[in-house]
Structure 1
Amino acid sequence: MATVKEAVIAKEHELEEEYADINEKALLRKLDYTLLPAVTSLYLLSFLDRSNVANARIEGLVKDLKITGDQYLTCLTIYFIGYVLFEVPCNIILKRTSPRAWLPTLTLAWGIVATLLGVTQNFGGFLAARFFLGVTESGLFPGVVFYLSMWYKRNEQHYRVALFFSAASLAGAFGGILAWGIAHMKGVGGLNGWRWIFILEGILTVLVSAASYFFIANYPDTAEFLSDRERSFIHARLAANSDATRNEAFTWSNVSTAFKDYKVWLATNDCTPYSVAFVLTLTVAVLSERYRIRAPFIMASSSIAIIGYIILLSNPLSRPGVSYFGTILAAAGIYPATALVLAWPANNVSGQTKRATANAMQISIGNLGAVLGTQLYRTETAPKYLLGHSFALAYLIFNVAVVGTLGWILKRENEKRDREVSEGKVVLTDYRDDEWGGDEDKRWRFQT
């Protein structure tokens, strides 16, 4: 008797013969070129609208709204509360409506909220706007993941989701420079630069949302860009691989089955490493700011990740519990270190243009790791992933060495500047050890 896998393979061979006139690879490219740019552009705007708060802070947000450091962190946290609470409800709405109706409407909603962030006048207003930004953005990512599952076979979805998710890195790459340019509108209309960052980027989202009602396709059975023959083939290939072709009416009982299925909860708990990483990232950030040092915390966090990867590599039997613990340590170490590394150039590079360029360079070069990572974690290396884990471990060890070296160099430079001040070689007019520094202005100290 044939196994399920063998039956699926046999069915795929039957389809190849039945639809010999269809070039499957060409059809997949057609789907990719039509579907992915549309949803990816929305996610790029989503990530841009949620992350521009950091750029707004640099341009005077905290000062104008009289927000304290703890209140600012609360504004960051409240976004994720709204996000988490409404992800499931938003996907329920998507199931009851359609992608063309729901995804653009979500985009319009968060575009309006993002724009309103630019006209808030106090902490309470900004906090409320950040909460509703999380609410309105919450449905996009899970919605698109579900949407793609209705178009692609299961083994084809991961790559498409990865391409879609990569929009976040694009937003990170140019978001800082874009915000820096917009901030030069300071004074226009009597508004500070940070307000224009929210207003203009929010208006851009609103405009794109209006267009997206036309370029977001629904599901294969009604897609206008496909021929009848192509729709039939997509339906057949999905029917042999998933439940995407089932005409499933919405019922609340189907919703409850997800909550009752223990396997769903186990999959959901895969977020635990990221939950730990989230808490540790905030904790390390607060401590780093309090003690005004970077390198020791980056090295310590990286060391936690190193231990995690050592555990993953030294688990020859791939025992799930051991691997899970190693994954928690890896994530808990990488995320705090990454957050601090991303902030380091902003602390230490002097000159606005140079700093904006340096930040963009750092993120752009860093994102090359994602390109390499897709080649390191190959399916055939599962479940041990020795190549990928070994490369990550080596990189983290190298990172500790580089950060330690850079911290030592900056410390020596600070000591040199201290001597120059004490010897009268540099006139001290404004000297604080919690600010960035650079060769252009030797009055400032580096953060180490």
Structure 2
Amino acid sequence: MASHKDDLEKAKDGISISNDVSVHSTHEAGMNDDVARVVDHKAERIISRKFDMRLLPVLAVMYLFNALDKGNLGNAQTDGLSTDLKFKDGQYNLLLSIFYVPYVVFAPPIAMLGKKYNPARVLPILMFSFGSFTLLAASAHNFSGLFALRWFLGMSESAFFPLVIYYLTTFYRRGELARRLAIFYAASNIANAFSGLLSFGVFQIESTHLEGWRYLFLIEGACTVSFAVFAYWYLPHSANEAKFLNDEERALAFHRIQVDSSSVVNEEFRLKEALEVLKMPATYAFLCIEICLGVPLQAVALFLPQIIQRLGYDKIKTNLYTVAPNVSGAVMLLILAFCSDFTRLRSPFIMLGLLFTFTGFIIYAAINDVQNQLKLAYYACFMMTWGTSAPSVLLSTWYNNNVAHEGQRVLLTSVGVPLANVMGLVSSNIFREKDKPKYMPALITTAAFGAVGTLLAGLLGLYMWFDNKRRDRKAGVKIDARDIPTKRLRDGPKVPEFRWFL
């Protein structure tokens, strides 16, 4: 016991090395293997800024197209997709639902292949694939054709977001991750807003040759395919192979990840080791929160145009009025994520976001006469978007912060993220045609999932806090999660030094 306590004290003592030391190699500049906080903060800021400028804009644009290609069906529906293709009752909902079957089934195996063959190459290939299927959707002439294309679209998009999260964990420290993921994920909200603007413009095209929704698929698909080609040659393989860094910066970049992200950087994927994450009870708590988050997340992503349509606008204005709520959702996402990184806390901000969503759906459900309370109804739409994007980003960040093994991170993310998205099966089937225009059963169901998610996030955060206190008492010294290098946390909570990232 005494020796263990001494080890912990040494780990903490190692943190206080002077900030004046300059970085020249992995052994100079105080970059001790047992120190979890790199001491040359100026050098770190320079590297982080370079990663921000080189990676985030490209990844954000990639995810913008990912979200556009996934969510454009709702915009196409407002332009008469079902009528033009002569859908029977329930077939539109089936189109929404079928996307999520391959999305969940293929996410883990494709993510594992992405880990093996490098996300920097696999991500653009996936992007090229889902862009191609969006292009082909413009040629669909019946339900069966569009149904098949939605299946392959779900397959090609399945591992995209999990692989981006894993890719970013190989460049950024745990405490830097949330705000970077937020900037990247904000592209989803911007995509929804841009989709509304694009639809607003496209649907005004007067053509006797093609319907407006076909132009929408053509434009979005062509842009996606073009950008995928550029991204394939642009993205760096890893932090220590980035050509825009010099030798000293690459050494520091590698060390940062070794001590505060991964137990072994660029470790070869082994399925047996990755499956060990399923033995951790907290894994199932994370997955349950993903399920609860998924219903409001997908309800807003898929049905916001239909929700706003209740306000009494025509198809053009309906798409236009989706822009402001989605932009405000992106702003709220950035605010909560930056606050989360600043305080190094995840669970309170996940709870706050889910509470926003719960409140928005309850307010909207409580309104009987929309025309007399038009401003309040539209404000509720804003609250719906505030509470969907931020919890999604922070939850993914939360469990990635608590898993140091790269293979386990990939596996957990490739299960958790699609699990949230597969709840689109619930969302797409509770918003029924017969419940138009209010969709009361859907609103209440969505609010209930938000409330349960808030409760689960709070309980898991409390458990982690109490467990950290228990571990401190047992060790006889107070240790923060950031004090222990992640290379010593390969076995997770089994290690006495392990502390939860709250």
- TM-score, with structure 1 as normaliser: 0.69
Structure possessing the higher relative contact order (Cα contacts under 8 Å, 6 or more residues apart): 2
| In 1: Cα distance, 2:247 partner to 2:337 partner | 35
Does the C-alpha gap of structure 1 residues 371 and 384 become closer, same or farther in structure 2, counting only changes over 3 Å?
closer
| In 1: Cα distance, 2:307 partner to 2:319 partner | 12
1:139 corresponds in structure 2 to: 159
Match of 2:78 among 55, 58, 61: 58
| In 2: Cα distance, 1:90 partner to 1:13 partner | 43
Aligned to 2:321, what secondary structure does the other structure show? Answer: helix
Match of 1:41 among 61, 68, 73: 61
| In 1: Cα distance, 2:120 partner to 2:135 partner | 23
1:196 corresponds in structure 2 to: 215
Residue 118 (1) aligns with residue 141 (2): no
Residue 221 (1) aligns with residue 240 (2): yes
Contact 1:82 1:131 in 2 (8 A): yes
Match of 2:291 among 247, 268, 272: 272
Does the C-alpha gap of structure 1 residues 220 and 245 become closer, same or farther in structure 2, counting only changes over 3 Å?
farther
Residue 381 of structure 1: how far off its partner (Å): 9.7
2:260 corresponds in structure 1 to: 241
Residue 11 of structure 1: how far off its partner (Å): 5.1
Deviations 1:272-292 (A, max 9, x none): 3135xx3xxxxxxxxxxxxxx
1:319 corresponds in structure 2 to: none
| In 2: Cα distance, 1:58 partner to 1:402 partner | 22
Residue 179 of structure 1: how far off its partner (Å): 1.8
Residue 141 of structure 1: how far off its partner (Å): 0.3
1:211 corresponds in structure 2 to: 230
Residue 181 (1) aligns with residue 191 (2): no
1:32 corresponds in structure 2 to: 52
Residue 214 of structure 1: how far off its partner (Å): 1.8
Residue 178 of structure 1: how far off its partner (Å): 0.2
Deviations 1:251-271 (A, max 9, x none): 333344344555434433332
Contact 1:235 1:245 in 2 (8 A): no
Aligned to 1:191, what secondary structure does the other structure show? Answer: coil
Match of 2:322 among 359, 364, 370: 359
| In 1: Cα distance, 2:130 partner to 2:142 partner | 20
Q: Residues 296-307 of structure 1 correspond to what in structure 2 (within 5 A)?
A: none
| More displaced 10-residue stretch of structure 1: 178-187 or 350-359 | 350-359
1:318 corresponds in structure 2 to: none
| In 1: Cα distance, 2:305 partner to 2:214 partner | 23
Deviations 1:188-243 (A, max 9, x none): 6x221111111211111000001111221110121111111100011122222232
Does the C-alpha gap of structure 1 residues 187 and 435 become closer, same or farther in structure 2, counting only changes over 3 Å?
farther
1:348 corresponds in structure 2 to: 311
Deviations 1:158-187 (A, max 9, x none): 221122111111011121120232233453
1:409 corresponds in structure 2 to: 372
Match of 1:17 among 16, 21, 29: 21
Does the C-alpha gap of structure 1 residues 13 and 77 become closer, same or farther in structure 2, counting only changes over 3 Å?
farther
Contact 1:12 1:240 in 2 (8 A): no
Contact 2:126 2:156 in 1 (8 A): yes
Contact 1:115 1:201 in 2 (8 A): yes
1:312 corresponds in structure 2 to: none
| In 2: Cα distance, 1:11 partner to 1:147 partner | 27
1:73 corresponds in structure 2 to: 93
Question: How much identity, in percent, do the aligned residues show?
Answer: 25
Q: Residues 266-415 of structure 1 correspond to what in structure 2 (within 5 A)?
A: 266-274=285-293, 278=295, 343-351=306-314, 353-374=316-337, 380=343, 385=348, 389=352, 392=355, 396=359, 400=363, 404=367, 407=370, 409=372
Give 2:214's aligned amino acid.
Answer: R
Residue 98 (1) aligns with residue 61 (2): no
What's the Cα RMSD here? 3.7
- TM-score, with structure 2 as normaliser: 0.62
Give 1:257's aligned amino acid.
Answer: E
Does the C-alpha gap of structure 1 residues 387 and 406 become closer, same or farther in structure 2, counting only changes over 3 Å?
farther
Give 1:36's aligned amino acid.
Answer: L
Contact 2:179 2:341 in 1 (8 A): no
| More displaced 10-residue stretch of structure 1: 21-30 or 154-163 | 21-30
Contact 2:135 2:220 in 1 (8 A): yes
| In 1: Cα distance, 2:132 partner to 2:78 partner | 23
| In 2: Cα distance, 1:203 partner to 1:18 partner | 48
2:185 corresponds in structure 1 to: 165
| In 1: Cα distance, 2:154 partner to 2:48 partner | 33
Does the C-alpha gap of structure 1 residues 435 and 96 become closer, same or farther in structure 2, counting only changes over 3 Å?
closer
Does the C-alpha gap of structure 1 residues 373 and 69 become closer, same or farther in structure 2, counting only changes over 3 Å?
farther
| In 2: Cα distance, 1:152 partner to 1:60 partner | 45
Deviations 1:85-119 (A, max 9, x none): 11111111111102232111000011111111111
Residue 341 of structure 1: how far off its partner (Å): 6.4
Bigger Rg, structure 1 or 2: 1
Give 1:130's aligned amino acid.
Answer: R
Residue 156 of structure 1: how far off its partner (Å): 1.6
Give 1:170's aligned amino acid.
Answer: I
Aligned to 2:237, what secondary structure does the other structure show? Answer: coil
Contact 2:47 2:253 in 1 (8 A): no
Residue 7 (1) aligns with residue 11 (2): yes
